[in-house]
Structure 1
Amino acid sequence: MTVTVLALVAGALVGLVLGGLGGGGSMLAVPALVYLLGFSPREAAGAALVIVALTSVGGLLAHLRTGTCRCRAGALFAVAGLPFAAAGGLVSARLPGGLLTAGFAAVAALAAWRMLLPDGSVRATRASRGRVAATGAGLGTLTGLLGVGGGFLAVPALVSVLAFPMAEAAGTSLLVIIANALAALAGRSGSLAGLDWAVIGPFTGAAVLGAWDGKRLAARFSGAALQRAFALVLLAVAALMFLDAVL
């Protein structure tokens, strides 16, 4: 199987996840880029930011049409993370690949754990400016360091910190993801020129198209069932990457 075909297949799967779950695409994009397409952990983190940002734009446009994105609140939430995302991108370029792989494995395991929590485990609490800023900063840091969009953390954060309904949290999180990804890419601007755009291009195109199919898939199956299935896949990915980092 050629590299281009692998990129198209992997991109379609990432798009399906983003479209079906509203987040989590980078959790598959990074390992796919590393283990299927030969990217280094540092290159994969940068490429994943490009892929997730562009794929999320289509989802955001759909939410804007249905009125399920609170742009003002999302922008304020994202602003808190922008400098941390940019700083994380700068730091990531100087970290060893093994450490980045281990860090990504830990975040993937955390994402899987959150998805396996029973419904109702995230409760709304009164938001303070400090808590909003701290949550936004944490999301920005993860985005910059590891190339993760942060949707798996942004959605519950918007629900619990800002008391958003789930549909509005999913739509608003896409705005936060795009803003953080662009800031992180700015911090990595010097290292993006060396990426293999002949692979990233087909990967991104397939992801954008796959996201639309993911929305239709989500309408046919239980959201909880999709989350559990994806969580099990993430646990396997986390275990593989952790073993790769330590062995």
Structure 2
Amino acid sequence: MTLVLAVVAGALIGLSLGALGGGGSILAVPVLVYLLGQSPAQATTGSLVVVGITALIGAVAAGRAGHVMLDRGVVFGLVAVGGAVLGANASARVDEDVLLVAFAALMLLVGALMAVRQLRHGRQGPQHAARPTLDDPIITFSPTFACACPRALKVLVTATLVGLLTGFLGVGGGFLVVPALLLGLALPLSYAAGTSLVVIAITSATALAVRAGVGSAPDWGAVLVLTLASALAAVAGARIAHRADTRHLSGAFTVLVLAVAAYTATRAVPALV
């Protein structure tokens, strides 16, 4: 029964990551804690494996479909590395009950943001963007130095927050990456979703490297089953994003995230008090 739950949960995580560029990865920690019996510390470490590998495979699938701007994803991911290191180090010093309460609060925020985005897209209708062309760079050094500093600051702050959340709570942070790529790097939504997977893969790998050897290791068997199911579903999700309007899928995942957030909060808050 545990194996079946891991497969189903992994499929939901991967489908969301591949099709939407985020949202589903935040389910990995509650799944590992409440369905697979891991401690919060083990779950946030195991989640990095699930999210990182799934994002990498999803990014490859999205790239083949032409929905990844690799150079921008790599740059954003490298900027986020510092935050990932800080977050991973901080996580090892926080009580596990506090970790779960923080995670529940984050899930509620993510669910609310997904709901707002879903409502906005519902009013605008489906959009099918052409492949973007390179706009004016944020920073140039030749022939003279120039800086679009407001955009640069927006990217720096958002990338650092993404890294911190990834390192601290083991989440991908796609709900932050996608808007940052939309606003800071001027990518259309379909390309922002695919490119965000590159960022998530980089920050997850960084945070996992920092956490290696710190604290108790998760049950790698359960983590690998969850990862395999998630990775396979991410490939399917990337194909769905390329061929279909994902608004209905986004709405379903919004409801799921809010439900899991409420459940996590009812379990975590009493334990803290």
TM-score surpassing 0.5? yes
* Paired residues of 1:80 and 1:134 also in contact (CA < 8 A): no
SS at match of 2:214: helix
Q: Distance in 2 between matches of 1:8 and 1:192?
A: 26
1:161 deviation in Å? 1.8
1:24 deviation in Å? 1.8
Residue 6 of structure 1 is matched in structure 2 by 5
Q: Distance in 1 between matches of 2:18 and 2:77?
A: 21
Spell out, residue by residue over 1:30-75, the C-alpha distance to the aligned partner (whole angstroms, 9 max, x if none). Answer: 1111100001111111111101111111211122223322222222
Q: Distance in 2 between matches of 1:218 and 1:62?
A: 11
- Per mean C-alpha deviation after superposition, the further-off stretch among 186-195 and 90-99 is 186-195
Residue 21 of structure 1 is matched in structure 2 by 20
- Per mean C-alpha deviation after superposition, the further-off stretch among 181-190 and 19-28 is 19-28
Residues 153-168 of structure 1: matches in 2 within 5 Å? 153-168=176-191
Q: Distance in 2 between matches of 1:216 and 1:81?
A: 27
1:187 deviation in Å? 1.5
1:119 aligns with 2:142: no
Spell out, residue by residue over 1:129-179, the C-alpha distance to the aligned partner (whole angstroms, 9 max, x if none). Answer: 222111110110011111000112111111022221112211211111011
Residue 84 of structure 2 is matched in structure 1 by 85
SS at match of 2:36: coil
5+ long unaligned stretches in structure 1: none
SS at match of 2:213: helix
Identity %: 44
* Paired residues of 2:84 and 2:203 also in contact (CA < 8 A): yes
1:214 deviation in Å? 3.1
Residue 257 of structure 2 is matched in structure 1 by 234
Q: Distance in 1 between matches of 2:223 and 2:46?
A: 7
Q: Which amino acid aligns with 1:119?
A: R
Q: Distance in 1 between matches of 2:191 and 2:219?
A: 35
1:206 aligns with 2:229: yes
Residues 13-162 of structure 1: matches in 2 within 5 Å? 13-117=12-116, 118-119=119-120, 127-162=150-185
* Paired residues of 1:86 and 1:185 also in contact (CA < 8 A): no
Q: Distance in 2 between matches of 1:132 and 1:217?
A: 28
Q: Distance in 1 between matches of 2:104 and 2:152?
A: 31
Q: Distance in 2 between matches of 1:21 and 1:73?
A: 18
* Paired residues of 2:240 and 2:246 also in contact (CA < 8 A): no
User: TM-score, normalized by length of structure 1?
Assistant: 0.90
* Paired residues of 1:17 and 1:211 also in contact (CA < 8 A): yes
- Per mean C-alpha deviation after superposition, the further-off stretch among 210-219 and 111-120 is 210-219
Spell out, residue by residue over 1:186-212, the C-alpha distance to the aligned partner (whole angstroms, 9 max, x if none). Answer: 120113772211111111111112223
Distance 1:129 1:44, change over 3 A: same
Q: Distance in 1 between matches of 2:12 and 2:69?
A: 28
1:219 deviation in Å? 7.0
* Paired residues of 1:85 and 1:140 also in contact (CA < 8 A): yes
* Paired residues of 1:84 and 1:144 also in contact (CA < 8 A): yes
Pairwise CA RMSD of aligned residues?
A: 2.2
* Paired residues of 1:46 and 1:188 also in contact (CA < 8 A): yes
User: TM-score, normalized by length of structure 2?
Assistant: 0.82
* Paired residues of 1:111 and 1:153 also in contact (CA < 8 A): no
1:8 deviation in Å? 2.0
* Paired residues of 1:25 and 1:52 also in contact (CA < 8 A): no
